[in-house]
Amino acid sequence: MANVIPTSFKTELLSGTHNFASGGNSFKLALYTDISGLSASTTAFTTTNQVSSSGTNYTSGGNALSSQAVSSDSTTATVDFADLTFSSVTLSAVGAMIYNDTNSDKICVVLDFGGTKSCSNGTFTITFPSTSSSGPGAAGTNSLISISS
């Protein structure tokens, strides 16, 4: 499976459901042991196959994303979040879901880690890609969520 942007997210963007600007909606990231049931037709956060963790720094429903920022250049708009760290946890995850905690837990994106990532009584970090591009194409093409012309 690859990363998935739900069909509903595209419509919700155009109807103003998601406000990614600083001070806008609150977003969370939840971790999963199996993402095969999360498809383009999935519309809202689910606890099915969510990781269970020993330790206190990952809770059911995931953790809040912070420092969200929207930026753009002449051809690309992007959103970025601060990296997310779960310290002192034991868990294994194959993917994650970013969802809008403010607006009915609507899904923005399902992320496929490309295999199981594990942590044993340590720090599990989600590192978000840079909003700039070091390769060909417009700035922001490496971003997790970007819209280009």
pLDDT tens track for 131-144: 665 544 445 556 67
β-pairing, 84-100 vs 69-72, is unpaired
Distances from the Cα of 86 to the Cαs of 51, 83, 117, 121, in angstroms? 13, 10, 13, 10
Considering only CA atoms, which of 135, 127, 140, 17 is closest in space to residue 70?
A: 140
What's this model's pTM, rounded to 2 decimal places? 0.88
Q: Of 33-42, 84-93, 126-135, which gets the smallest average pLDDT?
A: 126-135
pLDDT of residue 67: 92
Confidence class of residue 9 from pLDDT cuts 50, 70 and 90? very high
pLDDT tens track for 94-118: 999 999 999 999 999 999 999 999 9
pLDDT of residue 18: 95
Q: How far apart are CA 129 and CA 118, in angstroms?
A: 20
Beta carbons within 10 angstroms of residue 132's beta carbon: 15
pLDDT of residue 95: 95
